[in-house]
Chains A and B, each alone.
Chain A
Amino acid sequence: MRHAPASPRERKEMLDYLGIKACADLFKDVPECVRLRKPLNLPPGLTEQEADVHMRRLANENKLGPSFLGAGYYRHYIPAAVGHIISRSELYTAYTPYQAEVSQGVLQALFEYQSLMCELTGQEVSNATMYDGSTALAEACVMAHNITKRTEILASDTLHPQYREVLKTYCEAGGLKLSIIPSNDGTSSNIQPTENTAAVIVQTPNYHGIIEDTGRLQGKTHAAGGVLIGCVIEATSLGLLKPPSADIVVGEGQALGNTVSYGGPAFGFLTTGMKYVRNMPGRLVGETADSDGRRGYVLTLQAREQHIRREKATSNICTAQSLCGIAAAAYLALLGPEGFRRVAENSHRNAVYLSGRLLEHKGFSLVYDKPFYNEFLIRCPSGTYEKARKAGIIPGLTAGRNLLLISTTELHSREDLDTLAEAVK
């Protein structure tokens, strides 16, 4: 199926107007030596009906079933209205809102997103999304470097392994020195910042689900002249837990109203205090007025960005994840404080229940005796993972020999939890 609506008659009229015989005449500037002389070796186009069948068949080759996977991405219930809201084509087929007068929809929606993220994280300002939690974290490290003029970044091994990998890539390229400190008690409490430390990173709840004490760590970091970056990867935790006590709070927003979709797209968030606003990467939507005094919104403080500052920009980011941020804002608006709190509580209580049931069996023990949110690391008898898979359940992520990282959300019913507990008895 094609989407070039000009009919053959219209094409002929345009070719005549240009005084040429065929479109090929428009490509005279393309040197002969690089002109493709044969068609692209791709299957011919399908009709829409055939393509529909093809996509459904491909989707059916993926298996859905009971799952307790978390480890950075979390399946929560998404209210039906979210999908309808982000399907409004005036919003999703729009470009970045550079012409503010015809983009007030997206601009206000992003302003509301910024405001909501600040409520969740307790910070003063948020940008209008980043690619994901891992790159938001990397960009926060660059911010810390620009603020402190130092190059050392410290993080515990309780930080998500893939986030550590991304940090390693970004730090190496950007000339920052990353040190991963092995945890001695399942938390970041043993990190010791020095006078070279630009930033200390603490993920909370951390990779093993443990809630970290950020206040103490912030004190230590400030005493050394560095910046504390709090990283929240399960964003619904902010419905129940105090936000990290940090100078910059970043994280992954997927859990808020975005499907898992095999890893993306979702969005990263970056929030901080107004004193660092000019160091922030990404877009910022600000409130203003037109000449008649009507309130409106615009992209502001753009002078920091790549299209103006070029090589001196705070970041190279251009297109981000706007629509995914708007989905998150709609999600939070639809749940409200009551609904969001309950989602978080239920996610947590389900983890408490499930861990309790599993601990009833021989050979199961929690690796850490510390408060967790909706995820826990559990020691289990060998063969546990296979037993669950045989029963059609993905019990979590294997995190080492006889170790399982198990996550629950409000989507798990009591029956789901009991079924897993029975299957691995």
Chain B
Amino acid sequence: MRVEGDVAVVGITDFAQHALGDIVFAELPAVGGRVEKGKSAAVVESVKSVSDVYAPVCGEVTEANKAVAEAPEVLNKSPYKDGWMFKVKMEDKSELNDLMDAAAYAKFAGAKK
């Protein structure tokens, strides 16, 4: 996830797309709907598994990336740029403090196997 002012741009990490394998389908939240921190907001499906994508913050969904819905392989190819999934207008910016930064995540992911 990256932050652009009031808006959180949510996707999956490179580690996640690699672990999932070829992504075949992504279910995105409805624009205008509300997502809750820690609850499932989107679903990513690969050939061998299905993963929930949890909203990192609470807020209203302002945009959902049609490109991902139409060609989910972009999540594999470009998870941090073209493969953004949805944008959330944050209700409470202090929630950002609870999240891991890139370095902490790399450590977390490395420990996982």
Direct A–B touching in the complex (beta carbon < 8 Å)? Answer: yes
Binding site for B on A (CB under 8 A): 278, 302-304, 308-309, 312
- A278–B48 alpha-carbon span in the complex (Å): 15
Binding site for A on B (CB under 8 A): 24-25, 27, 45-50
Query: Is B49 a contact of A278 with CB atoms below 8 Å?
Result: no
Query: Given contacts A278-B27, A304-B50, could you give 12 more A-B pairs where the C-beta distance is less than 8 Å?
Result: A278-B25, A302-B47, A302-B48, A303-B45, A303-B46, A303-B47, A303-B48, A303-B49, A303-B50, A308-B48, A309-B50, A312-B50
- Residues of A within 8 Å of B45, CB to CB, are 303
- A303–B25 alpha-carbon span in the complex (Å): 10
Give the 9 A-B CB pairs with smallest separation, nearest first.
A303-B50, A303-B45, A308-B49, A309-B50, A303-B49, A308-B50, A308-B48, A303-B46, A278-B25
Q: What are 17 pairs between A and B in contact, CB < 8 Å?
A: A278-B25, A278-B27, A302-B47, A302-B48, A303-B24, A303-B45, A303-B46, A303-B47, A303-B48, A303-B49, A303-B50, A304-B50, A308-B48, A308-B49, A308-B50, A309-B50, A312-B50
Shortest C-beta distance, B46 to chain A (Å), equals: 7
- A180–B47 alpha-carbon span in the complex (Å): 40
- Residues of A within 8 Å of B46, CB to CB, are 303
- A278–B45 alpha-carbon span in the complex (Å): 11
- Residues of A within 8 Å of B25, CB to CB, are 278
Shortest C-beta distance, B44 to chain A (Å), equals: 10
Shortest C-beta distance, B54 to chain A (Å), equals: 14
- A304–B50 alpha-carbon span in the complex (Å): 8
- Residues of B within 8 Å of A308, CB to CB, are 48-50
Shortest C-beta distance, B106 to chain A (Å), equals: 27
- A312–B48 alpha-carbon span in the complex (Å): 15
- A309–B50 alpha-carbon span in the complex (Å): 7
- Residues of A within 8 Å of B49, CB to CB, are 303, 308
